[in-house]
Structure 1
Amino acid sequence: MAYFRKRGTKWEYRIKFTNQKTGLPDETSKGGFKSKTEASLAAAKAQLELEYYGFLPDGNELVETYFGKWMETYKKPNLKPITYSVQERNVRLNILPRWGKKKMKQINRNEYQEWINELKEKYSEGTVRRIHSIFSCAMNDAVHEFNILRENPVQRIKIPKDRDKVKKIKYFTKIQLKSFLEYTRPVKNAKYKASMQYLALFTLLSHTGLRIGEALALKWDDIDLDKKTLVVNKTLVYPLNSTPYISTPKSKTSGRSIKLDETTIKILKKHRLNQKEVILMYKNYKAAREDIIFHQHDGRWLRTNVVREYFKEVCKRASIPILSPHALRHTHAVHLLEAGANIKYVSERLGHKSVKITADTYLHVTEKIEDDALSLYEQYVQK
């Protein structure tokens, strides 16, 4: 039932109803109409919406207020800390500066699409998709969980494609990798010159394709040197200016068992013995905590940023392209494929979610393999 009253020169309507969200009596009102007829028409529309939806949306809340509640209620309890920190950063640095002071009901598809197009000028397609995914997920929950919107205003948005669809990966050739590993040992005036830790770490990365976090989380009981196998069941997360912690692998397929080659086995055996020698040799060099394989001089996990810096120094010494430790993962994959390894085997060894990811990532290599296979076929049928 709608009620009307005149306030000064303007008319106002008031509607009483049972809120289907709470099951309790509720009411809504709106004023500022020039005539009672105008107020009656607006009230009739509101009543139809109430009968259909059972509630009236409250879109007056600021986007920044809503996102604060949404992140705390729906994201923080259900995401890994590192994943949450990435999403929180995207909300804080990309979404809120543009939309924070707007009301939820003011978000419209056209303006949002323009913003997405602007983001694409700054970020890659993948990054824009991640930002849009966060925003759209929040809007879906605004509809279905918070009931403050009736529909998601950012549905069916088009993300501009990268002009260069093939991202060129960076890796070392066989000659470059050999040179890199030769220059990995500490230089003459290094603080812990006797340590061969980085040789062991970089050999392991380049011969297994492990992610840096997976390697730094390893303990000695994760490796069976007799059976020549390594188990990946965790990863080290080292947030900037925060305490490091052990987390589950990146995805379900990231957990895996890897076969080790003879060279890697020999290096790891030497490293295990070398760890004990270094501890005896240097007074301030402590034993590793929790029996971890790679560690700082104080026994704590080796820092990822320290590894990256040392990696760059080795590249400079070896006079090869200055890449990042992740390049060793790509290097291992490329060398396997070039050696003729089955792409499904490579995909499982790397812990990819699917063979398609492997094929797309190493497209230039897989194309070469296809060309070589076709050449062999042509030679065969022409005999």
Structure 2
Amino acid sequence: MLATVVSRYVELRHAMGFKFHAQSGLLRGFAAFADAREDGFIRTQSVIDWAGHAPSGAQRRNRLLTVRRFALAMQAEDPQHECPPGDVFGRESPKRGIRHIYSRSDLSTLLAAAAQLEPARSLRPATYVTLFALLAATGLRISEALALTIDDFTDDGLLIRATKFSKNRLVPLHETTDLALRAYLARRARVGACDSNFFVSANGHRLCYDTVMSVFLKLVRSSGLREGPGKPGPRIHDLRHTFAVRSLEQCTGDPRSIARHVLALSTYLGHAHVADTYWYLQGTPILTAQIAAAGEVLFAQAQIRSFQSGHPVQTLARPVAV
């Protein structure tokens, strides 16, 4: 049974320190598909058939490559496992996709939809409203938010332990965010939740990543922020992108102050390198206007210097002979 082989492989990845959330779900889905066909080993045709059921090209490639990596590892133990080619569904473009930057209206729509979750009078609506609002207000990774314990909520902010780059950091909070978290804890206490994790389900247990992702997709689709399965649209990680972009939009001043701001933002987000923070940034109308204004200032300064030196600035590039 491939399900047993997958379970052993997933346990090994966890023991090596990998979170392996999405991958384990995909591999278990493939194992169920293959076991239904009574495949004793990984078969190329079964992998292609299973991956082909995904609703989009990107998801089909992701399914294929996830099982392919698993197959390569299993072949080292038993050559009867087949390894499918990696380009059955084409090759993924290396270019960076455009991330969804949430507007105030988008965030209001998402939180309003979360507030309507059932059961209406349970802790569930408050949990998801507070969780999504926290991600938007701090730019935390979803894994970091779900790993929070009550003790991690301090007077100085949130203590984020053993992050993606295996280091702790303190995330200061705006006073409104602090009040919202305290209100959630008070609501949580009234329903008798005694789990040490900060965010808990309606039955008082730690929230599961897969469950949160399922709820998020349901909310963005039902609220009109995203179309059906396989269609592009807002992701939960885009809340982190939005935080980074909005933070930079509020930064004004000379290049040195902006550089200091980006460095502070990188530390706040828990990045190992400033270059990792640049990956989160993209153009918005506000940033574009700020860049244009800065360019005008630089050009005006260059004109003044050129006038003083007697060498006018060339505004147009010279034509190049072909």
- TM-score using structure 2 length: 0.59
Partners of 1:223 and 1:73 in 2: CA distance: 31
Q: How many residues align?
A: 269
> Is 1:176 matched with 2:106?
yes
2:247 aligned with 1:336, yes or no?
A: yes
* CA–CA separation in structure 1 for the residues paired with 2:274 and 2:184: 34
The residue that corresponds to 1:326 in the other structure is: 237
Letter in structure 2 aligned against 1:329: R
1:302 aligns with 2:215: no
Cα deviation for residue 190 of structure 1 reads 1.6
Matches of 1:382 and 1:138, distance apart in 2: 66
TM-superposed deviation, 1:252: 1.9
Cα distance change, pair 255–85 in 1 and its aligned pair in 2 (3 A)? farther
**In structure 2, what residue type is equivalent to 1:204?**
L
Does the CA contact (< 8 Å) of 1:197 and 1:294 recur in 2?
Answer: yes
Distance 1:220 1:73 in 2: 28
- Equivalent AA in structure 2 for residue 222 of structure 1: D
Are residue 381 (structure 1) and residue 302 (structure 2) matched? yes
User: Mapping of 1:229-248 within 5 angstroms?
Assistant: 229-233=157-161
Letter aligned with residue 196 of structure 1: A
Q: Distance in 1 between matches of 2:105 and 2:225?
A: 10
**Cα distance per residue 1:145-172 (max 9 Å; x no partner):** x9x9xxxxxxxx9xx8644612121231
Higher gyration radius (CA): 1
- Return the match for 1:167 from 97, 111, 121: 97
Q: Is this contact kept in 2: 1:254–1:352, CA < 8 A?
A: no
Which secondary structure does the structure 2 equivalent of 1:198 belong to? helix
Contact 1:204 1:264 in 2 (8 A): yes
1:264–1:90: structure 2 CA closer, same or farther, 3 Å change rule? Answer: same
> How far 1:273 moved relative to its partner?
2.2
Which digits, 9 at most, give the CA deviation of each residue in 1:73-116, with x for residues without a partner? Answer: 9867535463784796699799932399xxxxxxxxxxxxxxxx
Read off the aligned partner of 2:195 and give its amino acid letter. Answer: R
Across the aligned residues of Structure 1 and Structure 2, the Cα RMSD in angstroms comes to 5.2
Superposition pairs of residues 103-182 of structure 1, within 5 angstroms: 162-163=92-93, 165-181=95-111
- Structure 2: gaps of 5 or more residues: 35-40, 47-56, 80-86, 228-233, 252-257, 305-322
Q: Aligned with 1:96: secondary structure?
A: coil
Q: Which residue of 2 aligns with 1:264?
A: 177
- For residue 97 of structure 1, what is the aligned residue in structure 2? 43
Structure 1 partner of 2:16: 78
> 2: CA distance between counterparts of 1:71 and 1:188?
36
The answer for the alignment partner of 1:204 in structure 2 is: 134
- Structure number with the higher strand fraction is 1
Percentage of pairs with the same residue: 22
Deviation at 1:270, TM superposition (A): 1.9
Distance 1:73 1:316, change over 3 A: closer
Amino acid at match of 1:339: Q
Note the alpha carbon deviations across 1:334-380, whole angstroms, 9 max, x for none. 21232236333333333334333332343446984755543442344
Q: Are residues 260 and 275 of structure 1, via their aligned partners in 2, closer, same or farther at CA, if it must alter by over 3 Å? A: same
1:254 to 1:350, Cα distance in 2 relative to 1, 3 A: farther
Q: Secondary structure, in 3 states, of the residue corresponding to 2:20?
A: helix
Say if 1:296 and 1:302, in contact at 8 Å, map to a contact too: yes
Distance (whole Å) between structure 2 residues aligned to residue 266 and residue 96 of structure 1: 52
Which structure exhibits the higher relative contact order, with contacts defined as CA atoms closer than 8 Å and separated by 6 or more residues?
2
2:274 to 348, 355, 363: 355
CA contact (8 A) 2:146 2:207 kept: yes
Amino acid in the other structure paired with 2:144? E
The answer (yes or no) to whether the contact 1:124–1:162 under 8 Å persists in 2 is: no
- Conservation of the 8 A alpha-carbon contact between 1:288 and 1:298: no
Alpha-carbon distance, 1:260 to partner: 1.0
| Deviation readout 1:229-284 (Å, 9 max, x if unpaired) | 111115xxxxxxxxxxxxxx4x32564221211221121122222223xx3xxxxx
How far does residue 199 in structure 1 lie from its aligned partner after superposition?
Answer: 2.8
Structure 1 counterpart of 2:181, one-letter code: L
Find the aligned partners of 1:286 and 1:197 in 2 and give their Cα distance.
14
